[in-house]
Amino acid sequence: MERLAGERLAVALSLAGVVALAWLYLWRQAAIAHSGMAMGGMASDMPMAAPGAADFALLFVMWVVMMAGMMLPSASPAILLYGAMVRRHAESGRTLPAAWIFVSGYLLAWAAFSLLAAALQALLQHAALLDPMMSSSSRQLTAALLAAAGVYQFTPLKDRCLSTCREPVAFFLAHWRAGMGGALRMGFEHGAYCVGCCGLLMLLLFAVGVMSLAWVAAIAAFVLVEKLLPGARFTSRIAGLALLALAGATLLL
């Protein structure tokens, strides 16, 4: 039992370290963005050009790191459960792939989302719809993002994905696959459910500012509450109503 607790602690500390490094990176990127705006003066009000290949690669990396920092805490129940199963199998003489393989699959799903998010950001920049803080400069775009995220909170797909994310035991029972490839695939599938649950919430960053660390933290905190605390459906519905109200206010005020 003590060895199992120690293994669980090691996995938890490793996750905490990865999340801390991700948030440190995001803090540095936000600081650079704020510094650039301060030094740019009036130039900060000019539309930004679409990124080139190298800039797009950095943009993609930023989204991957941001998704890791925002989503790994809420995925910790599934990751810790998988880590516990690895240890229990080892004690009985059987071997399961390490927890990091499952985590890699999970992050791979969010990397696919990050590629789409980075491409969307490049398109929005090219259309001059984002300011230097990567926040929408169009009231219509902001309202559309808020409304889309609000409506999605009421859909059956949202309910299914959220339920799967909240019930890691049921997920492993339904999706268990053996071997290293199986662990990677399970991580990817769990990550895909999380993308289905929270992807539109992540796109709200285009409405409030991709480089606004306060809003990044606020959305991550909501995801944590929605996925880990009781009353998930009520929380989702209240958030959906709030987002729809904000969308209407954005257009009318």
Cα distance between residue 205 and residue 200, in whole Å: 9
Determine the 3-state secondary structure of 92 from DSSP.
coil
Q: What pLDDT sits at residue 242?
A: 97
CA 163 to chain centroid, in Å, comes to 17
Cα distance between residue 28 and residue 18, in whole Å: 15
Cα distance between residue 50 and residue 102, in whole Å: 35
Q: How many CA atoms lie within 13 A of 93 on its CB side?
A: 0
Cα distance between residue 240 and residue 234, in whole Å: 10
Q: What pLDDT sits at residue 6?
A: 57
Phi, psi of 93 (to 5 degrees): 85, 5
Q: What pLDDT sits at residue 52?
A: 78
Cα distance between residue 188 and residue 194, in whole Å: 10
Cβ within 8 Å of residue 158, ≥6 positions away: 152, 196, 197, 236
Q: What pLDDT sits at residue 44?
A: 43
Mean pLDDT by 10 residues, the chain (253 residues): 59 86 90 69 45 86 95 94 82 77 96 97 91 88 96 96 95 92 96 97 93 92 94 93 96 86
What are the tokens at 17? 């370290």
pTM value? 0.88
Q: What pLDDT sits at residue 133?
A: 77
Q: What pLDDT sits at residue 39?
A: 60
